[in-house]
């Protein structure tokens, strides 16, 4: 056997993405370069690592076993690097965070100073939907998760970071629209929803149900950005988190529509599993958040107080 660490890293990325093209994109390599590394690794085994059916790449059972071994090898290499840095008195290690999609407007501001001051810490941040965030947390695949509503059926510790407000928004309406008329206004307009399982979708559905509003037309999109662009284009109204609307509210491409019992208020909250033994990097980050979150909120998010 004469496989290299680079070959293992490339193969591991292929198993994660189930695609040579996507693996190449994430590794910032060309597609032929990834294919060559996969072939060179495969040539050292008599049993196939992958197979192609139709146009879809599949990882064989043997390939999955090799991927697990590759992950362990790569983790040990990282540990050697981290231990070297630790002996130099430098905080090191991986910090793994999973963030619900709208949280991409929040989390970077609560990370930048910490990462810039601790160059030995390697950040892995996955931005995805709520269901995958909770799954990653339950499977102990991450140190922390950022959510806007606390999950049920899982014991977690939590640290509130920032208020989260959801407003009814649109592009063209009477600025003096009476709040009492808003329910009818909602019912007459197409409503743009996030995908099933989204915390924003759940909050929106609960609000409409509570108000007894009959929504005549629905559109469903799979990201906050897609919903925002649809609202700007005039496809309908939506109930959206304020945090992602700063520029659009300032340039008036989106407007807040007055409506009874809005905004819906929750909190952007960092959570982690009870009983989890946090790494030195994760513990240091938690200390950083507790000491710096007020300053971060004042510096970057004071604008939300005007709404």
pLDDT digits (tens, 9 = 90+) for 56-90: 899 999 999 999 988 888 877 777 776 666 666 66
pLDDT of residue 213: 80
pLDDT of residue 177: 47
Per the prediction, the chain carries an average pLDDT of 87
User: Which of 139, 164, 134 is CA-nearest to residue 244?
Assistant: 164
Confidence check: pLDDT of 176 > 50: no
> Which CATH topology does 5-84 take?
Arc Repressor Mutant, subunit A (1.10.10)
Confidence check: pLDDT of 174 > 50: no
> Which CATH topology does 163-266 take?
D-Maltodextrin-Binding Protein; domain 2 (3.40.190)
The more confidently predicted of residues 87 and 5 is: 5
In the chain, % of residues over pLDDT 90: 49
Residue 162 φ/ψ region, left for φ over 0, alpha for ψ in the -120 to 50 degree band, beta for the rest: beta
Confidence check: pLDDT of 209 > 90: no
pLDDT of residue 73: 86
The domain segmentation of the chain, as residue ranges, is 5-84, 91-162+267-306, 163-266
Full-model pTM: 0.70
Helices (H), the chain: 5-17, 20-27, 31-42, 61-87, 112-117, 130-138, 182-188, 199-211, 224-232, 246-250, 280-300
Instruction: Tell me: cis bond preceding 241? Omega within 30 of 0 counts.
Output: no
Confidence check: pLDDT of 184 > 60: no
pLDDT of residue 179: 47
C-alpha–C-alpha distance, residues 207 and 263, integer Å = 10
262, two tokens: 């809005």
The more confidently predicted of residues 302 and 280 is: 302
Common-topology check for domains 5-84 and 91-162+267-306: no
Structure confidence by residue, pLDDT tens digits, 94-135: 899 999 989 999 999 999 999 999 888 889 999 988 888 999
> Which CATH topology does 91-162+267-306 take?
D-Maltodextrin-Binding Protein; domain 2 (3.40.190)
Confidence check: pLDDT of 216 > 90: no
C-alpha–C-alpha distance, residues 40 and 62, integer Å = 16
The more confidently predicted of residues 215 and 32 is: 32
């Amino acid at each position: 056997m004469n496989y290299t660490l680079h070959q293992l890293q490339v193969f591991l990325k292929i198993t994660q993405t189930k695609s040579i093209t996507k693996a190449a994109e994430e590794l910032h390599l060309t597609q032929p370069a990834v294919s060559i590394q996969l072939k060179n690794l495969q040539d050292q085994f008599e049993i196939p690592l992958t197979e192609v059916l139709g146009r879809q790449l599949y990882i064989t059972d043997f390939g999955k076993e090799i991927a697990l071994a590759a992950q362990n090898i790569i983790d040990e290499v990282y540990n050697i690097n981290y231990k070297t840095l630790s002996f130099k008195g430098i905080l090191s290690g991986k910090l793994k965070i999973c963030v619900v999609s709208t949280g991409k407007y929040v989390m970077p501001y609560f990370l930048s100073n910490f990462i810039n001051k601790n160059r030995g810490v390697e950040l892995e941040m996955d931005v995805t939907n709520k269901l995958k965030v909770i799954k990653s947390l339950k499977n102990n695949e991450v140190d922390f998760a950022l959510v806007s509503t606390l999950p049920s059926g899982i014991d977690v510790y939590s640290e509130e970071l920032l208020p989260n407000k959801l407003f009814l928004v649109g592009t063209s309406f009477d600025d003096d629209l009476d709040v009492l008329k808003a329910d009818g206004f909602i019912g007459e307009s197409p409503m743009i929803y996030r995908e099933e399982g989204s915390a924003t979708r759940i909050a929106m559905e609960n609000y409409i149900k509570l108000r007894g509003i009959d929504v005549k037309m629905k559109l469903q999109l799979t990201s906050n950005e897609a919903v925002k662009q649809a609202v700007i284009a005039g496809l309908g109204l939506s109930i959206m988190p304020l945090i992602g609307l700063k520029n659009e509210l300032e340039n008036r491409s989106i407007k807040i529509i007055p409506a009874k019992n809005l905004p819906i208020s929750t909190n952007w909250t960092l959570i982690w599993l009870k009983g989890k033994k946090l790494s030195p990097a994760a513990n240091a980050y938690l200390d950083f958040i507790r000491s710096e979150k007020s300053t971060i909120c004042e510096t970057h998010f004071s604008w939300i107080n005007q709404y």
